[in-house]
Amino acid sequence: MSAAMIGMSFLVLGVILLLGKWIRVMSPPIQKLFIPSSLIGGFLALFLGPEVLGYLISWIGDSSTFLSGGIFPEEMLDAWTTLPGLFINIIFATLFLGKKLPAIKDIWLLAGPQIAHGQTIAWGQYVFGILAAILILTPFFGMDPMAGALLEISFEGGHGTAAGMSATFEELGFSDATDLALGLATVGILFGVILGIVLLNYGVRSGKTSVLKDQSQLSLSETYQKGIIDFDARESAGKITTRPESIEPLSLHFAYVGVAIGIGYLILQALIWIEAITWGQATGIYLLAHLPLFPLAMIGGIILQMFLDKFDPYYTLDRDLMMRIQGLSLDILITSAIATLSLTVIGNNLMPFVILATVGIVWNLIAFLYLGPKMMPSYWFEKSIGNFGQSMGMTASGLLLMRIADPASKSPALEGFGYKQLLFEPIVGGGIFTAASVPLIFYFGPMPILIMTSVIMVFWAGLGVFYFGRK
């Protein structure tokens, strides 16, 4: 793969993202579903690639034309295939960079109920996903028991985590899992927003919302639905913390990201080395050798932020600029991941795919409608709807639903949701356990992991219902 082709693949990806944006601007039905432009662009590229257009041309019988493989060169598709695994490290490295890290006590006091609710949903996805694998997927469809972990990886972790786990899936002999996980993540985003809007309407009609009292309040402006900010309301994308003649601020922030990923890489290599000379050598079980880099990149970002809080008197790191780097990386990741999705793999495993998706959606709805009001004594709907959106595949979906449920941030839901991430994402939703779940099932089997995740789920559910719910 030449350097010129790698550069061209980024340029074409930019054009696809732009087309995705204008498709959303020009299509009211898509606007009402709040489908991200990156997802629209990814589906457009998937349609124009070998999986759809190429297949149709070959099926017609004209397999000798250049369109029989889609409109994109094979080298470009190869380049896109590698992008998700790279950009997920940038996304996780930026999660806490530029964010003031509060004391754990403060996080617990403000966001405790949301933490307990979010953790219950995440561990429940493992419990019911592994149960589905043990009872249905493995005995009836011959699927690897590791499929039980795909629910949390896809729904709670999203496209980034699903793509970031691809190397682990390959190493453990479950290569189909990447496409299945990406497909589940796509289903999660679509159903998360659609069901979220339905739940919001239900909440207003039944009087369960504390902020909204009328369905007319659910309507958003036309420009908001198109994803455009009104001209007079536009703000700066970030603060310029250094003079450009010394170093471009965006370059400095990108360098900080590199340092965070570098710290994560060193931690990972140290863990692999410790494992190799201790329990790995004694038992032959090498869990950390299969651990991807991205959760450690997040830890690297936290370490770097703690260092800067103490030793950077000039506050050269700006959170808004870091969020722009994160957003760019997420758009590239989603578009390239969907563009290279294998529909053949999903088609060959359609029933297991549908079963997992159904189990995940049903569990998330139960956790929202039944556990939400029992675990949160105040503003339960506004707080729970954010967890529901996130548990269906994207933090952005949770934020969107919270924005509709509480437009003026009259409740503490949004602030608590932000604090919740500090004690949530390092563990699940793409954290350490998410990355380790597949190797754990591979080495120890699904039953011990089912028992462990069940105990953890019951602990968080009990804490939410009997401690926070009664406060």
DSSP track, 231-285: GGG---SS---S-TTT--HHHHHHHHHHHHHHHHHHHHHHHHHHHHHTHHHHH--
Angle, CA 129 vertex, CA 181 and CA 436 arms, to 5°:
65
Specify whether the CB–CB gap between 402 and 414 falls below 8 A. Answer: yes
- pLDDT 10s per residue in the chain (471 long)? 678 888 999 999 999 999 999 999 999 888 877 788 998 999 999 999 988 888 888 777 666 666 777 889 989 999 999 999 899 899 999 989 998 877 888 888 888 999 999 999 999 999 999 999 999 999 999 999 999 999 999 999 888 899 899 999 999 999 999 999 999 999 998 898 889 889 988 888 888 888 877 665 566 677 877 788 888 778 888 889 999 999 999 999 999 999 999 999 999 999 999 999 988 888 888 888 888 999 999 999 999 999 999 999 999 999 999 999 999 998 999 999 999 988 889 999 999 999 999 999 999 999 999 999 999 988 999 999 999 999 987 777 788 788 888 877 788 888 888 888 888 888 998 889 999 999 999 999 999 999 999 999 999 999 999 999 887
- State how far the Cα of 76 lies from the Cα of 229, in Å rounded to an integer: 33
> In the numeric block, which tokens belong to residue 4?
């010129």
How many helices and strands (H and E) does the chain possess? 24, 0
> In the numeric block, which tokens belong to residue 326?
């994160």
Domain regions of the chain by residue span: 1-72, 84-218+244-471
- State how far the Cα of 284 lies from the Cα of 304, in Å rounded to an integer: 34
- State how far the Cα of 158 lies from the Cα of 148, in Å rounded to an integer: 16
Q: Which residue shows structure tokens 């201790």?
A: 278
| Paired strand residues for 68 | 70
